[in-house]
Amino acid sequence: MKAGFVLKPKNTIALKEVFLKIKSIFEKKGIDVLLESVSAKAIGLLGVEFDEMCKEVDFLVALGGDGTLISLARRAYKYDKPVLGINAGNLGFLTDINPENIAEFLDKFLKGEYRIDERMVIEIDYQGKKLYAFNDVVISKDVISSMIHIKIDTNESFLNTYHGDGLIISTPTGSTAYNLSAGGPVVYPLTEGFILTPICPHSLTQRPLILPSNFELEAEVKEKTAKLIIDGQEIYDMTSKIKIKKAQKPAKLIHRLERNYFDVLREKLNWGEVK
């Protein structure tokens, strides 16, 4: 069995000791470890090109925070490999395995005592190219002093024209990211649907909306200064219409059997105590 590692891109050198300890544990359990070349270069080790690594391994590992896992899941989407998140900071919504617990987890993992969550992914048709979003697609203005007008059509009919700073189109997984900050709803991550949340809308009647995942959306912006932002990590100029739909296959995340999403919500959002 082989695992392919990607390390948090910021302050990667600080993760070298942690990575080497984890690598040693993986190898003692009989799991070969490959390290992506950019991460390897940052800590002075030999690595493997990302695409080659994804082809060779049985699963992928993100060592960092939720952002590292989201980036890895999106970049490796076409290879259909499950992704494990090892948390290198505070407990995240996605990375629930801590480095000190990795040996215990691998013992269970090798016995098949784990689960794979399948998360909806958004496919974006952008100027003839296919882009993928794990968390969200954001259409945002690029000029501070003005607002933009975003026309949304569905495969059934015209939906709305949003006037304001922008629009978030989120997956259920991404509901606790930018969507939540903008006043959108928390949606259980294993459901499927599009969450449309306007950013600072000009009218107070513009409210978040949840649509079924079998809808196909088309977005057009009148202004030529709009930006298309994928998972907060990839930015494009939005100079033409884009089409948005549910991707054909989900992203796969490896989790502990004991992981409970509502425990994570209570901890991250400071919800009430269990009675």
| Mean pLDDT for the stretch of residues 251-271 | 87
Query: What is the pLDDT at residue 88?
Result: 87
Structural domain contains residue 275: no
Residue 258's contacts (CB-CB under 8 Å, 6 or more residues apart) are: none
My answer on whether 127 and 242 are in the same domain is yes
Count of domains observed in the chain: 2
Considering the chain, what is the average pLDDT of its residues? 93
Look at residue 213 and tell me whether its pLDDT is greater than 80: yes
CATH of the domain at 114: 3.40.50.10330
Query: What is the pLDDT at residue 35?
Result: 97
My answer on whether 116 and 130 are in the same domain is no
Output DSSP code: residue 13. Answer: G
My answer on whether 104 and 127 are in the same domain is no
Structural domain contains residue 179: yes
Give the confidence band of 274 by pLDDT, cuts at 50, 70, 90. Answer: low
| Mean pLDDT for the stretch of residues 48-69 | 96
Residues constituting the chain: 275
Structural domain contains residue 75: yes
| Mean pLDDT for the stretch of residues 26-42 | 96
My answer on whether 113 and 128 are in the same domain is no
Query: What is the pLDDT at residue 162?
Result: 95
Residues forming the active site: 66
> What are the tokens at 67?
């952002």
Structural domain contains residue 263: yes
Structural domain contains residue 274: no
My answer on whether 23 and 101 are in the same domain is yes
Task: Say which residue, 93 or 243, is predicted with more confidence.
Answer: 243
My answer on whether 65 and 135 are in the same domain is no
Structural domain contains residue 171: yes
Identify the residue whose tokens are 């080659």: 52
Query: Which stretches of the chain are assigned E, i.e. beta strand?
Result: 2-7, 32-35, 59-64, 83-87, 115-119, 122-126, 129-133, 136-140, 148-154, 158-170, 194-201, 209-211, 217-221, 227-230, 234-237, 242-246, 251-255
Terminal-to-terminal C-alpha distance of the chain: 43
> What are the tokens at 94?
């996605």
Structural domain span for residue 241: 122-246
> What are the tokens at 129?
């190219």
My answer on whether 38 and 12 are in the same domain is yes
Which burial class, exposed, middle or buried, applies to 69 when counting CB atoms under 10 A from its CB (0-12, 13-18, 19+)?
Answer: buried
Residue 15's contacts (CB-CB under 8 Å, 6 or more residues apart) are: 7, 8, 43, 63, 64, 88
Structural domain contains residue 51: yes
Q: How many other C-beta atoms lie within 10 A of the C-beta of residue 240?
A: 10
CATH of the domain at 222: 2.60.200.30
94 neighbors 254 (Cβ within 8 angstroms):
no
Look at residue 275 and tell me whether its pLDDT is greater than 70: no
The rounded distance, in Å, linking the Cα atoms of 203 and 162 is 9
My answer on whether 95 and 79 are in the same domain is yes
Identify the residue whose tokens are 């922008």: 166
My answer on whether 86 and 150 are in the same domain is no
> What are the tokens at 21?
């300890």
Give the confidence band of 143 by pLDDT, cuts at 50, 70, 90. Answer: confident
pLDDT in tens, 169-191: 999 999 999 999 999 999 999 99
My answer on whether 127 and 240 are in the same domain is yes
My answer on whether 44 and 112 are in the same domain is yes
pLDDT in tens, 108-140: 999 999 999 999 999 999 999 999 999 999 999
My answer on whether 47 and 7 are in the same domain is yes
Query: What is the pLDDT at residue 90?
Result: 66
Look at residue 208 and tell me whether its pLDDT is greater than 80: yes
Give the confidence band of 157 by pLDDT, cuts at 50, 70, 90. Answer: very high
Structural domain contains residue 226: yes
